[in-house]
């Protein structure tokens, strides 16, 4: 691969004046020197031996907070896959190195804010699904990598990385400015899972499923909805299914992302907060920008919309349909397919998604197809379009349908490679079928965990091919857990993501971390509501049992308290929830 060779392992040595990261490869060893007082970085050659200190596996990047600069390094990793002959690692541990001597000079309020920022930073670094691959170009799908020209291949990996999926792009900017190329490793958030297929005619077959999450509008389920002013959407994920045989590599790409208009669903302690669309003069241009970007990146777009056409979701589905009617007329590469998933697949008949597949099959199989190349790099076929799927969250219903599309693509690829006969299907190979379902269910859970905090709903259908009572119970647990996270923890999680990806930058001005906030009263208010309601029921029951007017009087009093508390919650529900404090909704 082009550019200077990326260093895959270092030894961290500490002195009173500097942190020294010595590359484990090379003689003499190249070292990254970080000044402990100023955070300035430079490189120099040092003797290859002896190599001492803490072993680290890369530099995540640098960030400036109130007290000064911090350097983040990878301290633990786990090998999860091989991509284009290069190892892919999941980050399992990091360390934050402080490069400042001014922390003692901070005021008490500044120290408080600094600790809040550091807590947010640690939270972001502990997020699930951070991956890197020295020399592996993990942010690029197989087709994008295979079609790089010699000029691109000669560039450092970070220069040819896909910006949308370059999770630490903001953090490595100080290294990029100094052209410290061998120390700059693109990190991706998403999922990487692989399996060696069993039970398919004794054929050697490796399958890898990769999710690449965009950082352009990164966030949590309720605090990042819809599009921003540049046409970037929440929960945008590119999914790539890679098939590797003895002589060929095949790839199939599909994407998911929030409905690309201005809309929100701000939490207010209700089970289902109201969906609100925001009409502005730029709404149409936002959707147009989004699909223009998609067309440029992928070619033709089949936009599949799985939201309900009635009820609370209908207002959003109607607004999206209106936008798409105009876009489809002006952009022939884009087609729109609404499908009310819950109506069509009601009573757990999820197999009816095949109705939708039949409608879009010609575009997917006839025009878009998939990528195919020989192991020597010769490209046999390009994928010329993608299916873009959404539901409200782009998680549960979306994952069910995407797993169906991926299965159809895999069957077509295996037929082309001579592994399957023309009418042969994955389900005809029970051992592999089970493996494949688990792979896709784990994929959906990983994407859901990052956005909503739990595994995907309806995951039992993807995992086992049918809905079950146990699956319904698990959905209930996940739904309750999501409710808790959405209302009481996701504001801080959103702040952490905004901080680490550069959507919010710390300045010398007073940061917006203080001020009135009703969340401190939330536990007391909720406890009061439960207690007064319980006491009202208890006294009413005792009054009926003992025919005692005094119990009824107490019951009415507690009913009054409960009503007052409920009214307070209804009026101030949004303020009682954990809200982000660093960035606005758009």
pLDDT per residue as tens digits for the range 147-159: 999 999 999 999 9
Q: What is the pLDDT of residue 1?
A: 46
Q: Among 385, 397, 390, which Cα is nearest to 302's?
A: 385
Distance CA(207)–CA(154), nearest Å, equals 29
Peptide bond into 546 cis (omega under 30): no
Helix, strand, coil abundance in the chain, percent, nearest 5: 40, 20, 35
Which phi and psi (to 5°) does residue 236 adopt?
-85, 120
Peptide bond into 176 cis (omega under 30): no
Residues whose CB falls within 8 Å of the CB of residue 552, separated by 6 or more in sequence, listed in order: 539, 540, 543
Tokens (6 digits) for 295: 């067309």
Which phi and psi (to 5°) does residue 386 adopt?
-135, 160
Distance CA(575)–CA(566), nearest Å, equals 14
In this structure, are residues 52 and 11 in contact, taking their beta carbons and an 8 Å threshold? yes
Q: What is the pLDDT of residue 401?
A: 96
Tokens (6 digits) for 213: 């999450």
Q: What is the pLDDT of residue 92?
A: 98
Helix, strand or coil, per DSSP, at residue 320: helix
Burial of 430 by CB count in 10 Å (0-12 exposed, 13-18 middle, 19+ buried)?
exposed
In this structure, are residues 221 and 482 in contact, taking their beta carbons and an 8 Å threshold? yes
C-alpha distance across the termini of the chain, in Å: 38
Distance CA(8)–CA(17), nearest Å, equals 25
Which pLDDT tens digits describe the chain residue by residue (586 residues)? 455 667 788 889 998 899 999 888 765 568 899 999 889 999 888 766 666 789 999 999 999 999 999 999 999 999 999 999 999 999 999 999 999 867 778 888 888 899 999 999 999 999 999 999 988 899 999 999 999 999 999 999 999 999 999 999 999 999 999 999 999 999 999 999 999 987 788 788 999 999 999 999 999 999 999 999 999 999 999 999 999 998 999 999 999 999 999 999 999 888 899 999 987 776 678 999 999 999 999 999 999 999 999 998 999 999 999 999 999 988 889 999 999 999 998 877 778 899 999 999 998 888 899 999 999 999 999 999 999 999 999 999 999 999 999 999 999 999 999 999 999 999 999 999 999 999 999 999 999 999 999 999 888 888 877 778 788 899 899 999 999 999 989 999 999 999 999 999 998 776 667 655 667 667 777 787 788 888 889 888 888 888 788 888 888 888 888 787 777 777 777 878 889 999 988 7
Report the DSSP beta bridge partners of residue 252: 241
- The DSSP-derived string for 41-106 is EEEEEE-SS---SEEE--EEEEEE-SS-EEEEEEEEEEEEEEETTEEEEEEEEEEEEEE-S-GGGS
Q: What is the pLDDT of residue 515?
A: 53
Helix, strand or coil, per DSSP, at residue 453: coil
Q: Among 294, 295, 267, 285, which Cα is nearest to 323's?
A: 285
User: What are the CA-CA distances from residue 395 to residues 255, 400, 401 (Å)?
Assistant: 12, 9, 10
Tell me 345's DSSP state. T
Distance CA(511)–CA(398), nearest Å, equals 38
Cβ-count burial 375-391 (b if 16+ within 10 Å, e if not): eeeeeeeebebbbbbbb
Q: What is the pTM of this model?
A: 0.92
In this structure, are residues 422 and 412 in contact, taking their beta carbons and an 8 Å threshold? no
Tell me 273's DSSP state. P
In this structure, are residues 326 and 284 in contact, taking their beta carbons and an 8 Å threshold? yes
Helix, strand or coil, per DSSP, at residue 560: helix
Q: Among 186, 145, 141, 142, which Cα is nearest to 167's?
A: 186
- CA 464 to centroid of chain Cα atoms: 24
Pairing of strands 385-390, 248-256: parallel
């Amino acid at each position: 691969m082009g550019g200077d060779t990326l260093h895959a392992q270092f030894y961290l040595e500490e002195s009173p004046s500097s942190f020294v990261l010595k590359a484990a490869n090379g003689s003499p060893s190249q070292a990254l020197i970080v000044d402990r007082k100023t955070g300035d970085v430079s490189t120099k050659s040092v003797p290859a031996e002896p190599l001492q200190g803490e072993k680290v596996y890369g530099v995540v990047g640098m960030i400036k907070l109130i007290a000064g600069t911090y350097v983040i390094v990878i301290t633990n990793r786990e090998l999860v896959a091989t991509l284009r002959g290069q190892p892919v690692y999941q980050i399992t541990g990091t360390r934050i190195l402080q490069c400042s001597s001014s922390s003692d000079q901070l005021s008490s309020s500044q120290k408080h804010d600094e600790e809040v920022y550091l807590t947010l930073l640690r939270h972001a670094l502990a997020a699930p699904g951070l991956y890197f691959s020295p020399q592996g170009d993990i942010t690029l799908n197989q087709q994008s990598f295979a079609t790089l020209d010699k000029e691109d291949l000669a560039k450092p990996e970070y220069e040819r990385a896909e910006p949308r999926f370059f999770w630490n792009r903001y953090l490595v900017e100080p290294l990029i400015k100094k052209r410290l190329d061998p120390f700059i490793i693109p990190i991706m958030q998403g999922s990487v899972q692989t399996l060696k297929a069993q039970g398919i005619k004794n054929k050697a077959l490796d399958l890898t499923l990769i999710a690449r999450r965009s950082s352009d509008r990164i966030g949590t389920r309720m605090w990042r909805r819809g599009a921003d002013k540049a046409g970037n959407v929440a929960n945008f994920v590119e999914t790539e299914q890679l098939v590797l045989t003895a002589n060929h590599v095949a790839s199939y790409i599909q994407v998911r992302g929030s409905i690309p208009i201005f809309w929100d669903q701000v939490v207010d302690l209700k089970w289902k907060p109201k969906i609100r669309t925001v009409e502005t003069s730029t709404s149409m241009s936002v959707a147009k920008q989004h699909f223009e970007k998609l067309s440029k990146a992928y070619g033709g777009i089949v936009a599949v919309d799985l939201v309900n056409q009635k009820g609370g979701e209908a207002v959003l589905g109607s607004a999206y349909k209106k936008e798409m009617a105009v876009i489809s007329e002006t952009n022939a590469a884009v087609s729109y397919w609404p499908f009310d998933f819950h109506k069509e697949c009601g009573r757990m008949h999820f197999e009816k998604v095949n109705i939708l597949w039949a409608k879009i099959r010609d575009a997917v199989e006839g025009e878009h197809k998939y990528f195919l190349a020989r192991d020597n790099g010769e490209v046999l076929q390009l994928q010329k379009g993608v299916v873009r799927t959404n539901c409200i969250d782009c998680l549960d219903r979306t994952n069910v349908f995407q797993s169906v599309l991926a299965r159809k693509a895999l069957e077509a690829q295996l037929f082309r490679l001579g592994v399957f006969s023309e009418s042969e299907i994955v389900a005809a190979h029970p051992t592999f079928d089970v493996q494949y379902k688990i792979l896709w269910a784990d994929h959906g859970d990983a994407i859901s965990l990052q956005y909503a905090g739990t595994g995907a709903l309806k995951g039992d259908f993807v995992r086992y091919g049918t809905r079950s009572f146990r699956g319904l119970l698990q959905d209930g647990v996940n739904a309750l857990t999501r409710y808790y996270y959405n209302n009481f923890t996701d504001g801080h999680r959103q702040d952490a993501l905004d901080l680490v990806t550069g959507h919010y930058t710390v300045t010398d001005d007073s940061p917006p971390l203080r001020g009135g906030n009703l969340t401190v009263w939330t536990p007391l208010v909720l406890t009061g509501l439960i207690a007064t309601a319980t006491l009202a029921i208890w006294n009413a029951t005792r009054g009926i049992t003992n025919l005692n007017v005094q119990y009824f009087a107490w019951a009415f009093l507690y009913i009054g308290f409960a009503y007052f508390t409920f009214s307070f919650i209804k009026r101030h529900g949004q303020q009682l929830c954990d809200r982000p404090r660093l960035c606005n909704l758009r």
